[in-house]
Chains A and B, each alone.
Chain A
Amino acid sequence: MTQAVLALFLREWRIARRIGGGASIGAVFFLILVTLMPFALGPDLNLLARIGPAILWIAALLAALLGLDRLFQGDSDDGSLDVILNAGLPLELVVLVKCAAHWATSALPLVIVSPLFGLMLAMDVKPLALVALSLVAGTPALTMIGAIGAALTVSLRRGGLLMAVLALPLTIPVLIFGVSAASAASGGAAPFLTPFLMLCAFSLFSLAAAPFAAAAALRHVRE
């Protein structure tokens, strides 16, 4: 069982690294979104510093959903999903492992580069650290919520947009608490710890519940 889990994680990791630039392309997309903001809002450093956490969070949210629609679709298209279904590994565990690999290859790089990109928004050191910390706590929930959408749209040819439409409204609570935790250092409304713990709770809850929802959706759609 452990051997199968490791093999699945390694396979997902390798595929993500080898196709389409892997981790770097998500980070570049993130960079472009962050770069566009000062152009749209104007070079008001105070304004940028104040809304910086929100910009970083929205950019991370969009970048994290990038590529998530292919989470199960690739396996469905090439017949791998059929073989995986009969592998003897619980489908819920398969979903969890695939999400973990996806998070490690696409969300983790965003967390790592977010302090760097925050510099472009005239953010201070402390807010930068808090943004990165809140992203670590919040992005697992984004990946898991997106996985449900990806499972529901697995058999649709152009399911990417539908998946985003399904998943984005569900990410609103994560966004609210993520931004409120991240902006605590730059004069936010709430202290840091309360929204941060809520973020952790969202991620833990989605880690526990989303694999069952996504696996049920996969089984239902496959019939």
Chain B
Amino acid sequence: MRLSARDIAIERGGRSILEGLSFEARAGAALVLLGPNGAGKSTLLRAIAGFLPLAAGAFVLDGGSSEASLGEQAQYLGHADALKGALTAGENLAFWAAMLSAGSGVGKGDSRTPGEALARLGLAHVHDFPALSLSAGQRRRVALARLLVAPRPIWLLDEPTTALDAAAQGLFAAIMREHLAAGGLIIAATHAPLGLEGAVTLPLGATRLTA
């Protein structure tokens, strides 16, 4: 599986955010977006997920499903955790597992139950706790568990390790390595090193600081 971008341009509110950007992300190796605040890392991830229209260029996915859109083959993990405070961690994950399996041509692979996914992230004991009562780091880990309950080949991660302690960061690095080894594709925007060997970096916005 390979995701290539050709001459991407993105505008928001009449202002150009990214121009003439080309890159290629291959299965098995993570693509890490680097750049200062406001460089357009989150914008690029949201554009890949299909939330923002492209002013020019296109994304081409080789080896994916022809029936589902790029966004429907991707798991987007943004700044927000997409958890409902009134529901327990297990209910949140069970909902996403059912919801994200609705698409066509995706959701294959070995999905884990909410309990297994939480255990993988070291949170088996919070299964029946309301998400509201969890700490920021715990909420983040429950959000990461969403990647496991609804398997999709492409992971779009926006600052995935925010609020995680060192042990949890190591745990998540191992989960990402498993996903890559299974032929998955990861595109991540981050300031902190993710602990992935052989990751390709894509610097963004280096020349735009003075603009």
Query: How far is A14 from B131 in the complex, measured between Cα atoms in Å?
Result: 14
In chain B between 28 and 81, which residues have their CB closer than 8 angstroms to a CB of chain A?
46, 49-53, 68-69, 71-72, 74, 76, 78-81
Q: Once the chains bind, are B49 and A82 in contact (CB under 8 Å)?
A: yes
What is the chain B residue whose CB lies nearest that of A11?
B95
Q: Is B209 an interface residue (CB 8 A)?
A: no
Binding site secondary structure of chain A: helix
Checking B49, B72, B86, B87 against A88 with a beta-carbon cut-off of 8 angstroms, the contacting residue is: B72
Q: How far is the CB of B99 from chain A (nearest CB, A)?
A: 5
**B86–A15 contact, CB under 8 A?**
yes
Which of B78, B100, B146 is the most central at the interface, judged by chain A CB atoms within 10 Å of its CB? B100
Report the bound CA distance from A88 to B53 in whole Å.
Answer: 18
| Closest partner residue, chain B, to A89 (CB atom) | B102
Interface residues of A in 113-132 (CB under 8 A from B): none
Quick check: A222 and B86 within 8 Å, CB to CB?
no
- B residues within 8 A CB of A85? 50-51, 71
- Knowing A14-B87, A19-B86, A77-B80, say if A86 contacts B98 (CB, 8 Å): no
B81 touches A88 (CB 8 A): no
Residue of B nearest to A222 (CB): B51
In the assembly, what is the distance between CA of A4 and CA of B104, in Å? Answer: 13
What is the number of residues of chain A that contact chain B, defined by CB distance less than 8 Å? 27
Q: Are A78 and B82 touching (Cβ within 8 A)?
A: yes
Interface of chain A residues 1 through 49 with chain B (CB within 8 A)? 1, 3-4, 6-8, 10-11, 14-15, 18-19
- In the complex the two chains form, what is the Cα distance from A77 to B80 in whole Å? 8
Across the interface, do A11 and B103 meet the contact criterion of CB distance under 8 Å? Answer: no
The yes or no answer to B101 lying at the interface (CB within 8 A) is: yes
Contact B51 A15 (CB under 8 A): no
Chain B residue, CB-CB nearest to A20: B86
**Residues from chain A with Cβ under 8 Å of B27 in the complex:** none
State the CA gap A187–B205 with chains docked (Å).
73
Which residues does chain A contribute within 8 Å of B101, judged by CB atoms? Answer: 3-4
B96 at the interface (CB under 8 A from A): yes
Report the separation of the CA atoms of residues A88 and B51 in the bound assembly, to the nearest whole angstrom: 14
The residue on B at minimum CB distance from A22 is: B86
Q: A11, A79, A87: which contacts B81 (Cβ < 8 A)?
A: A79
Given A79-B79, A88-B72, A223-B52: A4 and B84 within 8 A (CB)? Answer: no
Smallest Cβ-Cβ distance to B152: which chain A residue: A86
Q: Give the residue of B72, B78, B84, B86 whose beta carbon is less than 8 angstroms from that of A82.
A: B78
Chain A positions within 8 Å of B91 at CB level: 11, 14
Q: Is A84 an interface residue (CB 8 A)?
A: yes
User: Is the Cβ of B99 less than 8 Å from the Cβ of A4?
Assistant: yes
Cβ distance B24 to chain A, nearest Cβ, rounded Å: 22
**Complex CA–CA separation, A80 to B100 (angstroms):** 12
Closest A-chain residue to B100, C-beta based?
A87
A204-223 interface mask toward B, CB cutoff 8 Å, 1 = contact, 0 = none? 00000000000000000011
A84 to B71, CA, bound (A): 11
Contact call B99/A78, Cβ cutoff below 8 A: no
- Cβ of B117 under 8 Å from chain A: no
A1 to B51, CA, bound (A): 22
The 7 closest A-B pairs by CB, nearest first: A88-B103, A79-B80, A7-B98, A4-B102, A86-B71, A79-B82, A18-B86
Could you pull out 13 A-B pairs where Cβ atoms are within 8 angstroms? A7-B99, A8-B99, A14-B86, A18-B86, A77-B80, A79-B81, A82-B78, A83-B99, A83-B100, A85-B51, A85-B71, A86-B72, A88-B103
Residues of B in contact with A (beta carbons under 8 Å apart): 46, 49-53, 68-69, 71-72, 74, 76, 78-84, 86-87, 91, 94-96, 98-104, 106, 146
Additional pairs, 8, CB under 8 Å, beyond known A11-B84, A86-B72: A3-B101, A8-B99, A19-B86, A78-B82, A82-B78, A87-B103, A88-B104, A89-B99
